[in-house]
Structure 1
Amino acid sequence: MMRTCFICLLGLLAWTAQAAEPRPAFSRIVVFGDSLSDTGKMYSKMRGYLPSSPPYYEGRFSNGPVWLEHLNAQFPGLKIANEAEGGATAVAYNKISWHPKYQVINNLDYEITQFLQKESFQPDDLVILWVGANDYLAYGWNSETDAKRVRDAISDAASRIVLNGAKQVLLFNLPDLGQNPSARSQKVTQAASHVSQYHNALLLNLARQLAPTGLVRLFEIDKQFDEMLSEPQNFGLSDTEHACYGGGYVWKPFAASSANEDARLNAFSPQERLAIAGNPLLAQAVTSPMARKVAAPDCEGKMYWDQVHPTRVVHAALGERAAAFIESQYEYLPR
């Protein structure tokens, strides 16, 4: 019902937007998403233990700055409000399951709530939604029905954002999830590829449905990843299959009995430990104290930093491509 009302609302708004400029103006970017966009929110939430830095870079889920931190090169002085958090899902599974792994991990709807508790959307905000990978890779919700539920959560989020004052929403789709080291190691490449492609088809249809309003647009980031996979040499890449950081995919210390490990785990509540263990994409980002003292490995030529997260080189390229797309679709007017 909410999505139907949203489409009707956007249709009405479209009638009043006949004289709008070809490129809508923006002065600030507001981001909601997961570890691909997280610039330290999970790190702060987990009191500096996750992701372990080093070898992870200053609370990012990579070995360097993430894509949105490169946008200032194209838009000097750009203000960014970032609510993206590692492990976040599109769907609020904590509302449909009491499993502990869903009770600590964030979701798209609650990220918006956290933003609105501090400030409000402005008409000149460009709101970016990039989420969904954890729903599929970390928690295995990988059927077409699951993808529709993810699409509905994203649509509802866009509705809430517009109803709260934003005028521009930009959706990012997903890269082919079957191509990363995580899918390869778990032998779910076919299922992961299918669900991400189906997810992208659903988002494309949603964007086309809402296109007449001019309020919701789509950036097909999957095409950027596809280009890197097909022509890696153009991006300084030589290895698109293997992770640079060799941290274990499943975090073992939960079963450890040593005093040192137990003391380290005391930083987490039992609920937090279960939540991290239930999300292997987060679990591998917690390293042993010894590993944290070792310098980050040399990732030259690598596409993936760990089992699922891109290296800083890939993030830099994605930031450049995203900035070019935004510049072509919107006009930047610094506040």
Structure 2
Amino acid sequence: MKKQAVAAGFVLFSFMLPTKASAVSFDQLYVFGDSLSDTGNIYNLTDKGYPQSPPYFEGRFSDGPNWVDYFGDQLGLKPTLSPIIPSTPISTQGINFAIGGASSGLDNAVVPDSGLPGVLKQVLDFAGTLKANNQTANPDALYTLWGGGNDFLFPNPKDSTTPNSNISVALNTLVGAGAKNILVFNLPDLGELPAAKSRGRNPTALSQSSSEFDLGLAETVSVLNQNPNLNIFSVDIYSLFNQASALGFTNVTESCLSRPDICNPGNNKFLFWDDVHPTTAAHKLVADTALAAIEAKSVPEPAINLGILAVGAFGVVGVLKRQQKRSALVSAGRVFDAQLSHTIVEN
């Protein structure tokens, strides 16, 4: 009943917002994050050995393109992979620094002490390179930040203080480097992941951790939004995934890979591909929601302060409207990195 009430609120809220006439436009796309946003960094570093393809799709932790692929197509931008990848050309359209297993901080949560950068380290290195060259971040580019889930999964801390602090520092570092447009994602309910119900994990603790993290992130974003020179676009993944059933997903509890009898890669109604990563259909939904959140930012707000949930709500409503115009969810097209040492063995 609670979820139904929230969904009804989303629909009601959609009638409060005018439509946006102009198109979204950025000239570069920079991505910071973990395996939810990795489009091939870990894959290339492991000589295309991980994630294993098949069943995974071309270095994505999913059965098809991930949200960065879809979102980049929507913006007309294709960022290259991280410069730490050998022989990677630097694109004028941006760079994807996200790497599978990244913690919210300096290290890799799945393979510690490996030299692989966490989300904060990705941002610090980017800002440091700009400073060393007496440059500032392109104010007309879009910078995306999604991380924190691995901190709770490998292992699960008792509080969210450190992950919140890391993401807050990362956001403020981007702002200090000159970034003006930042897209930031919160976490879904980690207690609802298929992985939360296996390997001795505590779903209740994971749910509490993700809720506390999202609250802390909302406070950070609220402070940044007081700066009129910034555009902070918030994507409410928590609400989005809680409404997955209403958005056409018929299985939101199991991973597709755990059901080979009915799993159809690239064209299925599963929310999760493996124990922690969304299917390509879910990634497409994330991309649509991200675009809707950006469009919502330029819409005049009512006098009352709608806050971060309102932006997320607009994103969900935007996706619902887009889906009504399609005959089916596009088949060819999160979160949280699968254990580099367990996921493939398990599957």
TM-score range, shorter chain: 0.5 to 0.7
Q: What is the SS of the residue equivalent to 1:139?
A: coil
Tell me, yes or no, if the aligned pair for 1:88 and 1:107 is still in contact at 8 Å: yes
Q: Which amino acid aligns with 1:128?
A: T
Q: What is the SS of the residue equivalent to 1:50?
A: coil
Offset at 1:26? 3.3
Tell me, yes or no, if the aligned pair for 1:25 and 1:330 is still in contact at 8 Å: no
> What is residue 42 of structure 2 aligned with on the other side?
42
The 1:148–1:316 alpha-carbon spacing in structure 2 relative to 1, beyond 3 Å, is same
Tell me, yes or no, if the aligned pair for 1:219 and 1:325 is still in contact at 8 Å: yes
The 1:170–1:73 alpha-carbon spacing in structure 2 relative to 1, beyond 3 Å, is closer
Would you tell me which structure has more helix in proportion to its own residues?
A: 1
Tell me, yes or no, if the aligned pair for 2:189 and 2:207 is still in contact at 8 Å: yes
Question: 2:62 matched to 1:62?
Answer: yes
Please give the TM-score of this superposition, normalised by the length of structure 1: 0.68
> What is residue 240 of structure 2 aligned with on the other side?
224
CA distance in 2 between counterparts of 1:220 and 1:36 reads: 15
> What is residue 136 of structure 1 aligned with on the other side?
152
Q: Could you give the per-residue CA deviations for residues 238-272 of structure 1, whole angstroms, max 9, x where no partner exists?
A: 1111111249xxxxxxxxxxxxxxxxxxxxxxxxx
Question: 2:318 matched to 1:307?
Answer: no
Offset at 1:304? 0.8
> What is residue 324 of structure 1 aligned with on the other side?
292
Tell me, yes or no, if the aligned pair for 2:194 and 2:255 is still in contact at 8 Å: yes
> What is residue 243 of structure 1 aligned with on the other side?
255
The 5-angstrom pairing of residues 188-199 of structure 1 reads 188-199=202-213
> What is residue 109 of structure 1 aligned with on the other side?
120
CA distance in 2 between counterparts of 1:108 and 1:194 reads: 22
The 1:77–1:100 alpha-carbon spacing in structure 2 relative to 1, beyond 3 Å, is closer
The 1:202–1:77 alpha-carbon spacing in structure 2 relative to 1, beyond 3 Å, is closer
The 1:163–1:125 alpha-carbon spacing in structure 2 relative to 1, beyond 3 Å, is same
Please give the TM-score of this superposition, normalised by the length of structure 2: 0.66
CA distance in 1 between counterparts of 2:129 and 2:222 reads: 32
Tell me, yes or no, if the aligned pair for 2:183 and 2:233 is still in contact at 8 Å: yes
Tell me, yes or no, if the aligned pair for 2:25 and 2:75 is still in contact at 8 Å: no
Q: Which amino acid aligns with 1:323?
A: L
Tell me, yes or no, if the aligned pair for 2:33 and 2:102 is still in contact at 8 Å: yes
CA distance in 1 between counterparts of 2:269 and 2:23 reads: 37
Tell me, yes or no, if the aligned pair for 2:233 and 2:294 is still in contact at 8 Å: no
Aligned pair partner of 1:127 in 126, 143, 167: 143
Q: What is the SS of the residue equivalent to 1:158?
A: helix
The 1:171–1:77 alpha-carbon spacing in structure 2 relative to 1, beyond 3 Å, is closer
Runs of 4+ in 1 over 3 A off after TM superposition: 22-26, 76-80, 102-105, 113-120
Q: CA RMSD in A?
A: 3.0
CA distance in 2 between counterparts of 1:23 and 1:148 reads: 38
Aligned pair partner of 2:264 in 295, 298, 306: 298
Question: 2:51 matched to 1:83?
Answer: no
> What is residue 176 of structure 2 aligned with on the other side?
163
Aligned pair partner of 1:212 in 226, 247, 254: 226
> What is residue 265 of structure 1 aligned with on the other side?
none
Moved more, 175-184 or 71-80: 71-80
Tell me, yes or no, if the aligned pair for 1:23 and 1:329 is still in contact at 8 Å: no
The 1:100–1:128 alpha-carbon spacing in structure 2 relative to 1, beyond 3 Å, is closer
CA distance in 2 between counterparts of 1:113 and 1:34 reads: 15
Q: Which amino acid aligns with 1:66?
A: N
Offset at 1:169? 2.2
Q: What is the SS of the residue equivalent to 1:64?
A: coil
The 1:226–1:69 alpha-carbon spacing in structure 2 relative to 1, beyond 3 Å, is same
The structure, 1 or 2, with the larger RCO (C-alpha pairs under 8 Å, 6+ apart) is: 1
| Residues matched between the structures, number | 253
Offset at 1:213? 0.4
CA distance in 2 between counterparts of 1:84 and 1:330 reads: 27
> What is residue 175 of structure 1 aligned with on the other side?
188
Structure 2 residues not aligned, in runs of 5+:
1-21, 79-92, 131-135, 300-347
Tell me, yes or no, if the aligned pair for 2:101 and 2:111 is still in contact at 8 Å: no
The 1:116–1:173 alpha-carbon spacing in structure 2 relative to 1, beyond 3 Å, is same
Tell me, yes or no, if the aligned pair for 1:23 and 1:330 is still in contact at 8 Å: no
Q: What is the SS of the residue equivalent to 1:218?
A: strand
Moved more, 307-316 or 181-190: 181-190
Q: Which amino acid aligns with 1:313?
A: A
Offset at 1:116? 5.1
Question: 2:198 matched to 1:185?
Answer: yes
CA distance in 2 between counterparts of 1:117 and 1:91 reads: 16
